[in-house]
Amino acid sequence: MLYNVMDIQNILPHRYPFLLVDRITSLEEGKSIEGYKNVSISEPVFQGHFPGHPIYPGVMIIEGMAQAGGVLAFVSASKEDQEAAKNKVVYFMSIDKAKFRQPVVPGDKLVYRLSVIKHRGSVWHLDAKAYVDEKLVAEANLKAMIVDK
C-alpha cells in the first residue's frame, strides 16, 4: 500500500460520500497508477440505483478512475508544484471511448488502473480501466486539467 484513504484525502479535495478511492497500491510518477475502491451495500447511491437490484453506476466508476488519475497528477508534480497543488483542483476536459463491460455490485473490489497517454503542462490524457476479479468492467480515455480553485 502506498497511500491509504487518509493520505488520499491529503491529496484530493473529495470527501464522503464522493471520495471514490480507498487505496493506492502502485504509482509510477508521470506514468501509471493503480488503486481500488471496495464497493459496499451501505453506500448512499444504492438507495436509488436500483432498489432490490443494486448496481454501482458507471458514472461513479468513471469518477473513481478520474480521482485515481488526480492522485497520479498531483503526486507527479514537482515538490514546488505540490505546495501549489493545495490550491488546485482537477477538472474533466473530456471522457472518450467509455465502455461498460459488466455490472459492478456490492461486495466487489473495484480496481482502477490508469496509464498516461500524454502529459503536457497541466493537461493529462489518461487510459483508464477498471477491473473486478481481473475482469475488465469499464474503460475510458480521460482528459483532465489541473486548475486553480
- For the residues 6-28, what does the mean pLDDT come to? 95
Confidence of residue 5 (pLDDT cuts 50, 70, 90): very high
- The answer to pTM > 0.85 is yes
Query: What residues are paired with 140 via a beta bridge?
Result: 128
Q: Coil, helix or strand for 124?
A: strand
- Residue 74's domain spans which residues? 5-148
Would you state the pLDDT for residue 78? 64
> Length of the chain, please?
149
Query: Number of folded domains in the chain?
Result: 1
Is position 49 annotated as part of the catalytic site?
Answer: yes
Q: Phi/psi at 126 (nearest 5 deg)?
A: -125, 140
- For the residues 2-11, what does the mean pLDDT come to? 94
Domain of 30, CATH number, reads 3.10.129.10
Q: Does residue 88 register a pLDDT over 90? A: no
Say if CB 138 and CB 68 are below 8 A apart: no
Would you state the pLDDT for residue 73? 92
Question: Of 49, 53, 119, 125, which one is the catalytic site residue?
Answer: 49
Checking 78-87 for CB contacts under 8 A at 24+ apart, the result is 85/11, 85/146, 87/148, 87/149
CA angle at residue 20 from 14 to 26, to 5 degrees? 105
Confidence of residue 149 (pLDDT cuts 50, 70, 90): confident
